[in-house]
Amino acid sequence: MVAQSNGCLAVKFEAAFLRRLDFDKVSVADDSNIYARYVNGGEPSHAEYKALQDFLFRYNAREAGRLGMAVHIHTFHGPGGFYRAADSDPLLLESTFNDPSLRGTKFVLIHGGGVYAASFGPGVGWELGAWIAATTARQALAIALKDMMRSGEITLVGAEEIATMVMRTNAGALYNLPLERPAAAQAGVRAAA
């Protein structure tokens, strides 16, 4: 894929820092009319400007999908007094995810837990936030897999396979990367079989 060969795996939208995540479906004709009206000057109304943004978001998301790139969307509260957590609610993306023209696009919700996942403040920057997120994610995965093994839903081999998918191979599939299971894990699965 051209995008990957040039080092691009995803396109990132930080829309939630600037507006609501409700990207309506706008026709090419409506978008063209709005654009033509203001291409040489003037200021579109809020509704017209939103329609242009909505069209461009869906167009770019379709193109990213066509090129095999994932689309990252921030869904978490951000800096400054202008940011509204309700405007970054992932449920606002429902019509986008249900759009048949976007079926080939892989979406990734960045900070998908929203305001329930973490907090930032004085002395808590991205470094500590990333460490907390990685540590708690691993702990949560271990707890869930242990409970599933205890209840007989999966075996140890199944737990190892799920852990490998979550921590490694799912990302490979998402970004079309040739990530394989580590050789030691493959040997362990063969030995257990």
Which has more pLDDT, 5 or 97?
97
Lowest mean pLDDT among 48-57, 58-67, 99-108, 124-133: 124-133
Percent of the chain with pLDDT over 90: 52
Statement: residue 186 has pLDDT above 80: no
The string of pLDDT tens digits covering residues 121-171 is: 677 777 887 788 789 889 999 999 999 999 999 999 999 999 999 988 888
DSSP character string of 54-119: HHHHHHHHHHHHHTT-EEEEE-S--SSTT--GGGG-GGGGHHHHT-GGGTTPEEEEETTTGGGT--
**pTM summary value:** 0.74
The string of pLDDT tens digits covering residues 76-87 is: 766 556 667 778
Statement: residue 109 has pLDDT above 50: yes
For the residues 54-75, what does the mean pLDDT come to?
93
For the residues 62-70, what does the mean pLDDT come to?
93
CA distances from 188 to 110, 161, 169 (A): 33, 11, 17
Mean pLDDT, rounded, of the chain: 84
